């Protein structure tokens, strides 16, 4: 009945001490309510040789100071005055990141010992040259004889009609193909125990639907002496064995560590906290008793408190306006969203381990106060490297690098006199502004030297570079850092169909207040909310959180009238289970709330949404719990922009979330002062307008009737708030800071190159490609795109040149530019607004026939030609041909590999051409021995998803154009492309300096054939070339073919050296004759030829026959063959 005390004593002043503690990786934050209502807040290091445990030390200090009596550090604390303790901790996260968990064995169905080692083959860092396979958590694998298989009517598996039939919990039946062999398993488990392994994870196939075998294994393991056993069916009873197995392993790996920490924590108190309610925060934002805390649901225990803190304090105060949480720390920034209910994800990856459990949806970017600052190849770069606590930023007086903190200090936004004197080698000095300024002066000199070295003589004479000041460089880095932190916010809002400008920015964390106004202004937000305890909001959120009890079961029913009674019965049973568990913790009926969820997806897709029927009351055609179908289609439409009306909806899981409301209120109203706010001091602070006189206020001296116009600085014990010019801060009745964000004076951006703007545009263009990728992944149906992430999205300039791409598939990105430029040449004036082009042909820049590229030209009012292009390329599992899949090894013609598209209008005048594309995808079936697409519905759905991804890119770029103007955006597209060349040159110079100007390597194919590579790098900068001479000529592919034929001693006809040099059309004519000779065709016989035709006319007719299947024309050699695309088609035909 521990929780009963917490529930009963929630209203009014506390009878005893109430502690909410967030134990982070670097600092531990303590929020304490003392008897009588006094609030104490303190922050201490999580690891310190002076004490054994930081949360215990924080409690000890509060008790000692409030009671006025010494409390010895080396004695257990008296708990008689403690009413309750609530904690969030990163113990589980750190153990997973550092691989310091419990020794573990995995028990799996025989034949699947390597299932988790293979995983899902995801490569989160696709451009890494050396891919490190994540380590598995287990040391040993035990295979057990047992096998269940789903029962399917008409199954032709030999003997299936005689196998025992089991009724699964999902509503489906299973066949017992092989019984569980416990006798043989006992000896294997005893051997593992003898080798010192005491924790076991159990993963048996289909156990989510029938857990009987896992339960028998668990009973045997506990009988033999395993201290901890994690059954996948109990830990994560959801379909999909790989994430379920990962989750069971994480639970078995982490739970013993957590239990050891809890035992250590208990030992710091008399009677080991008996009778004191102790609750821990779980990853889903709910509290749970200490005895039930552990494993896979503890990964986000620390950050979850901050989400609860801003959700409870900001959402209600701002009239129900959606809130973006912005938690900026030392090494990273966490962002999340709250709009009346917590947003959860049900599968997330931490440290290479996929966890299948409810977690708050928190996005992290590696940009914080300690993020390092670099100037690389003409770009201002922030992070991801961090200075850490040691040596820390340059201003810490320990020889550290430049960081975001140094930039704020140089600009006067941090005041050293309000920081403790804990810096320097002796940890007794203040922050050093001079050290930061010296480092920025050196950085400014490097930037100017680079700009002088890369500027052309004409440009330097016309517009000589101006000397950069320390403040300009520091301000530039802050603007780039702010843009980097805006990217995850856009991913949470714009990429999911929400308008970022309609949100309130709830800022917390030690560094967030210095950037809040700038970030809100960039995103178009009008308000920033900073709680008075923002420096310790994660701890404060623990005091406000509810106790949560969840129950979830897998399901495999369609959402239809026949299934409603069963769904209602299961939801009712889960609700009773939650209520019973919360009553057992002491909550009364009126304190308990429950909410039902169904995990729904369209049949044949993999994108399931966990949907509540909140706001969708029941109808005669729905469950009693509500109209889940309406909730699902509404949310699907908002996130993805379309629905699939004729597709059945499947229920993957049923879930009920029960909450026991503590009703705790920690707010104390603030009295008005009746007089103007006192200015503590006035300092000079640098903003976009330059240095401004900036008054400084102490938050503790401000009252609810005070208003502070910007520029101003408001200082709290744990944070500094910068109120920028054009913004106005005011205090609420509870003492929180609310900032009205003005639009500010617009900063003009011209088309001329500026290094800071180049870095900001680089982030914006990259963000556009990333959001396109998220839309494509979430809206696609196929496993290739949704799970294997075999797709790419990119933005292209008006000339079809690549501008930016997300970190997707390298081979796609290397060829997509050619595809876009081919369409510009091939379609010309036929590229119209409302058209979307589909292409995959090798002659049109295709890299792999099943990789279908969808290209959308974008027009701007008053301009006849496209102003830019967006494109997405996705791997379709099947597009027809002689075999399912892709690249059959024995294909002889292109049609045998599948459907072919050169410049196919997928959307024409805004209308999706479904019948035409359907016919094209089925066309290979007309070729003898071939089939059309074997999964046409998935092809069509994925193509629609690619169109939707392109549309998102168009929307985001047009917003950028409206903000800065078309000439500026196009100019920076060109600047980005030019900078890419600079970056590659710098990389090659660095390579030569490190490895030498010549390197070589050798590798071998399977048959022993050697592959030798020698690379020579000239580190000297080449002479500048005249503008317009750096054009890539399509006929270089012809030269490659020429060299190949020469090597084979094939006779060349009609080719002279000047043909090769000038790209003369006769070169291609000669190559066609060469192909004919190579295939030993002595004379040309073409159907329909006339007797008086010349050899050239015959060849032209023959060429037309060769390419007509590709919907190409060969009218004459001069115009048709100039770029070699028809030559590519014929080469492919004769491979």
pLDDT, tens digit (0-9, with 9 covering 90-100), for 990-1044? 888 888 888 888 888 888 888 888 888 887 765 444 333 223 233 444 444 445 4
Pairing of strands 371-376, 379-386: antiparallel
Average pLDDT for residues 771-786, to the nearest whole number? 81
Residue 698, beta-bridge partner list: 715
Q: What is the pLDDT of residue 1093?
A: 65
Q: How confident is the model at residue 1123 (pLDDT cuts 50, 70, 90)?
A: very low
pLDDT at 1117 over 70: no
Average pLDDT for residues 353-376, to the nearest whole number? 83
Which tens digits make up the pLDDT trace of 72-123?
888 899 888 898 899 988 888 888 877 888 999 999 999 999 998 888 766 6
Within 8 A by CB and 6+ apart from 1105, the residues are 1086, 1087
Closest to 633 (Cα-Cα) out of 559, 733, 544, 741? 559
Q: How confident is the model at residue 744 (pLDDT cuts 50, 70, 90)?
A: low
Which tens digits make up the pLDDT trace of 923-958?
988 888 888 898 888 898 899 889 988 988 888 888
Average pLDDT for residues 461-485, to the nearest whole number? 82
pLDDT at 899 over 70: yes
Q: What is the pLDDT of residue 1096?
A: 59
pLDDT at 1066 over 50: no
Work out the number of other CB atoms within 10 angstroms of the CB of residue 131. 9
pLDDT at 636 over 50: yes
Contact, 533 vs 719, CB < 8 A? no
- Residue 364: φ, ψ to 5°: -120, 135
pLDDT at 456 over 70: no
Average pLDDT for residues 1076-1095, to the nearest whole number? 53
- Residue 476: φ, ψ to 5°: -60, -45
Percent of the chain with pLDDT over 90: 21
How far is it, in rounded angstroms, from Cα 1108 to Cα 157? 47
The single-letter DSSP state of residue 294 is -
Q: Is 28 left (phi over 0), alpha (psi -120 to 50) or beta?
A: beta
Which tens digits make up the pLDDT trace of 377-417?
888 888 788 787 678 888 888 888 999 999 999 999 999 88
pLDDT at 347 over 90: no
Average pLDDT for residues 438-461, to the nearest whole number? 76
Question: Is the peptide bond between 711 and the residue preceding it cis, with omega within 30 degrees of 0?
Answer: yes
How far is it, in rounded angstroms, from Cα 1126 to Cα 1040? 16
pTM of the model: 0.76
Within 8 A by CB and 6+ apart from 853, the residues are 816, 819, 838, 839, 840, 845, 846, 871, 872, 873
């Amino acid at each position: 009945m521990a929780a009963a005390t917490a529930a009963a004593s929630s209203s009014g002043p506390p009878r005893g001490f109430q502690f909410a503690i967030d134990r982070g990786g670097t600092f531990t934050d303590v929020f304490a309510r003392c008897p009588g209502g006094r609030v104490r807040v303190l922050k201490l290091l999580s690891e310190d040789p002076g004490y054994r445990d930081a949360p215990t030390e924080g409690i000890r200090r509060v008790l000692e100071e409030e009671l006025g009596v010494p409390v010895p550090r080396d004695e257990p604390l008296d708990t008689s005055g403690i009413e309750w303790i609530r904690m969030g901790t990163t113990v589980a996260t750190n153990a997973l990141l550092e691989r310091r968990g419990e020794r573990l064995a995995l028990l799996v169905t025989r034949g699947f010992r390597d299932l988790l080692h293979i995983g899902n083959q995801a490569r989160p860092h696709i451009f890494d040259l050396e891919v490190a396979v994540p380590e598995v958590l287990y040391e040993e694998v035990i295979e057990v004889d047992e096998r269940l298989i789903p029962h399917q009517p008409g199954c032709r598996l030999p003997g299936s009609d005689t196998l025992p039939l089991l009724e699964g919990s999902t509503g489906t039946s299973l066949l017992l193909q092989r019984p569980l062999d416990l006798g043989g398993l006992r000896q294997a488990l005893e051997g593992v125990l003898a080798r010192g392994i005491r924790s076991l994870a159990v993963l048996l196939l289909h156990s989510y639907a029938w857990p009987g075998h896992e339960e028998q294994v668990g009973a045997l393991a506990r009988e033999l002496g395993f201290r901890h056993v994690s059954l996948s069916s109990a830990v994560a009873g959801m379909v999909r064995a790989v994430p379920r197995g990962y989750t069971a392993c994480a639970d078995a790996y982490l739970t013993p560590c957590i239990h050891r920490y809890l035992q250590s924590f208990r030992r710091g108190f008399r009677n080991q906290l008996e009778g004191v309610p102790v609750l821990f925060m779980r990853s889903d934002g709910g509290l749970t008793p200490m005895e039930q805390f552990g494993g896979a649901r503890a990964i986000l225990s620390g950050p979850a408190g901050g989400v609860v803190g801003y959700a409870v304090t900001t959402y209600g105060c701002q009239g129900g306006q959606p809130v973006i949480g912005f938690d900026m720390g030392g090494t990273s920034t966490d962002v999340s969203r709250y709009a009346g209910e917590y947003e959860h994800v049900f599968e997330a990856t931490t440290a290479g381990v996929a966890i299948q459990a409810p977690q708050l949806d928190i996005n992290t970017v590696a940009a914080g106060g300690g993020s390092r600052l670099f100037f690389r190849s003409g770009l201002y770069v922030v992070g991801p490297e961090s200075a850490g606590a040691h040596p820390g930023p340059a201003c810490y007086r320990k020889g550290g690098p430049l960081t975001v903190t140094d930039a704020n200090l140089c600009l006067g936004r941090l005041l050293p006199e309000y920081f403790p004197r804990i810096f320097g080698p002796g940890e007794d000095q203040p922050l050093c502004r001079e050290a930061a300024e010296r480092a920025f002066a050196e950085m400014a000199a490097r930037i100017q030297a680079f700009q002088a070295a890369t500027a052309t003589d004409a440009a330097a004479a016309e517009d000589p570079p101006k000397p950069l000041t320390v403040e300009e460089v520091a301000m530039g880095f802050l603007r780039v850092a702010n843009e980097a932190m805006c990217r995850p916010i856009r991913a949470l809002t714009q990429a999911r169909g929400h308008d970022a400008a309609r949100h309130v920015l709830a800022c917390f964390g030690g560094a967030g207040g210095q950037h809040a106004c700038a970030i809100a202004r960039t995103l178009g937000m009008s308000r920033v909310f900073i709680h008075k305890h923002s420096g310790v909001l994660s701890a404060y959120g623990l005091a406000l959180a509810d106790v949560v009890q969840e129950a979830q079961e897998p399901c495999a029913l369609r959402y239809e009238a026949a299934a409603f009674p069963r769904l209602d019965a299961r939801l009712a049973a889960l609700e009773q289970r939650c209520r019973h568990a919360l009553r057992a913790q002491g909550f009364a009926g009126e304190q308990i709330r429950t909410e039902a969820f169904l995990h729904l997806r369209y049949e044949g897709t993999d994108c399931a949404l966990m949907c509540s029927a909140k706001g969708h009351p029941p109808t005669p055609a729905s469950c009693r719990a509500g109209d889940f179908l309406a909730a699902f289609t509404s949310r699907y439409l908002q996130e993805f922009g379309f629905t699939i009306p004729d597709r059945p909806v499947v229920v993957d899981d049923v879930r009920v979330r029960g909450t026991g409301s503590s009703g705790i209120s920690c707010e104390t109203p603030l009295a008005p002062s009746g007089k103007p706010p006192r200015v503590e001091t006035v300092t000079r602070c640098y903003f976009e307008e330059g240095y401004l006189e900036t008054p400084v206020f102490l938050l503790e001296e401000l009252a609810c009737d005070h208003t502070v116009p910007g520029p101003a600085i408001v200082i709290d014990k744990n944070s500094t708030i910068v109120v920028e010019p054009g913004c106005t801060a005011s205090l609420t009745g509870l003492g929180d800071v609310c900032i009205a964000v003005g639009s500010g004076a617009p900063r003009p951006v011209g088309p001329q190159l500026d290094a800071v703007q180049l870095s900001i545009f680089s982030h914006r263009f990259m963000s556009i490609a990333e959001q396109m990728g998220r839309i494509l992944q979430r809206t696609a149906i196929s496993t290739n795109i949704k799970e294997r992430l075999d797709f790419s999205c990119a933005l292209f300039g008006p000339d079809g040149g690549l501008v930016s791409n997300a970190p997707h598939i390298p081979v796609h990105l290397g060829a997509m530019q050619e595809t876009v430029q081919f369409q510009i040449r091939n379609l010309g004036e036929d590229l119209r607004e409302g058209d979307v082009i589909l292409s995959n042909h090798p002659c049109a820049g295709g890299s792999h026939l099943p990789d279908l590229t969808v290209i959308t030209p974008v027009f701007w009012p008053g301009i006849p030609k496209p102003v830019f292009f967006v494109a997405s390329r996705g791997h379709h599992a099947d597009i027809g041909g002689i075999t399912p899949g892709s690249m059959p090894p024995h294909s002889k013609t292109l049609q045998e590999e599948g459907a072919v598209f050169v410049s196919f209008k997928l959307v024409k005048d805004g209308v999706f051409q479904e019948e035409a594309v359907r016919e094209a995808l089925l066309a290979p079936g007309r070729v003898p021995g071939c089939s059309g697409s074997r999964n046409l519905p998935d092809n069509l759905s994925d193509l629609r998803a690619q169109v939707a991804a392109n549309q998102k890119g168009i929307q985001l770029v047009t917003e950028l154009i409206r903000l800065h103007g078309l000439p500026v955006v196009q100019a920076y597209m060109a600047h980005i492309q030019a900078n890419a060349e600079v970056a590659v040159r710098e990389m090659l110079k660095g390579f030569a300096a490190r490895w030498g100007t010549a390197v070589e390597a050798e590798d071998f194919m399977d048959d022993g054939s050697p592959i030798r590579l020698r690379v020579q790098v000239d580190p000297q900068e080449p002479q500048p070339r005249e503008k317009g001479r750096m054009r890539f000529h399509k006929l270089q592919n012809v030269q490659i073919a020429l060299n190949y034929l020469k090597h084979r001693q094939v006779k060349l006809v009609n080719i002279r050296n000047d043909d090769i040099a000038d790209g003369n059309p006769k070169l291609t004519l000669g190559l066609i004759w060469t192909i004919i000779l190579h295939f030993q065709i002595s004379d040309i016989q073409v159907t329909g030829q006339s007797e008086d035709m010349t050899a050239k006319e015959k060849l032209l007719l023959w060429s037309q026959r060769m390419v007509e299947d590709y919907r190409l024309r060969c009218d004459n050699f001069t115009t048709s063959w100039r770029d070699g695309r028809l030559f590519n088609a014929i080469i492919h035909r004769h491979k």
